[in-house]
Homo-oligomer: A and B are copies of this chain.
Amino acid sequence: MAASLDTVFSALADPTRREILRMLLEDDMAVTDVAEPFEMSLAAISKHLVILAGAGLITQEKRGRVKWCKLEPDALKAASVWMQGFGQFEPVNLDAFEAFLARELGEEASG
């Protein structure tokens, strides 16, 4: 479950895989539907999905013939925390602070 920083960062290093994550942000998808917009084989996409699952960034559940892919954003947490360790060098980081507040408060207001 808790994948290493190695696997998470290397999973994120490929633009196809990042695009897949972005697509899954909107909704869960079947493997075939994930592959559709890409100009590469289904097998290639299937491999990318295995790598994303190995990094914990998605989970896959088979229902009938169809394997559904679901984003698991929590897997980014360890990587994010690691990166935050370097943020202390930024003078105040007001931008990030405001973005953070806007997101949290916006969520509270609308949820």
Residues of A within 8 A of B (CB): 5-6, 9-10, 12-15, 18, 21-22, 25, 71, 73-74, 76-77, 79-90, 92-93, 96-97, 99-100, 103-104, 107
Query: A88–B100 contact, CB under 8 A?
Result: no
Q: Which of B15, B80, B104 contacts A83 (CB 8 A)?
A: B80
User: Closest Cβ of chain B: how far from A65's Cβ, in Å?
Assistant: 28
**Chain B contacts of A71 at CB under 8 A?**
86, 89
Besides A5-B15, A12-B79, A76-B86, 16 new A-B residue pairs in contact (Cβ under 8 A), listed by A number: A5-B12, A5-B18, A6-B15, A9-B10, A10-B10, A12-B83, A71-B86, A71-B89, A73-B86, A74-B90, A81-B99, A83-B83, A84-B100, A84-B103, A93-B104, A100-B100
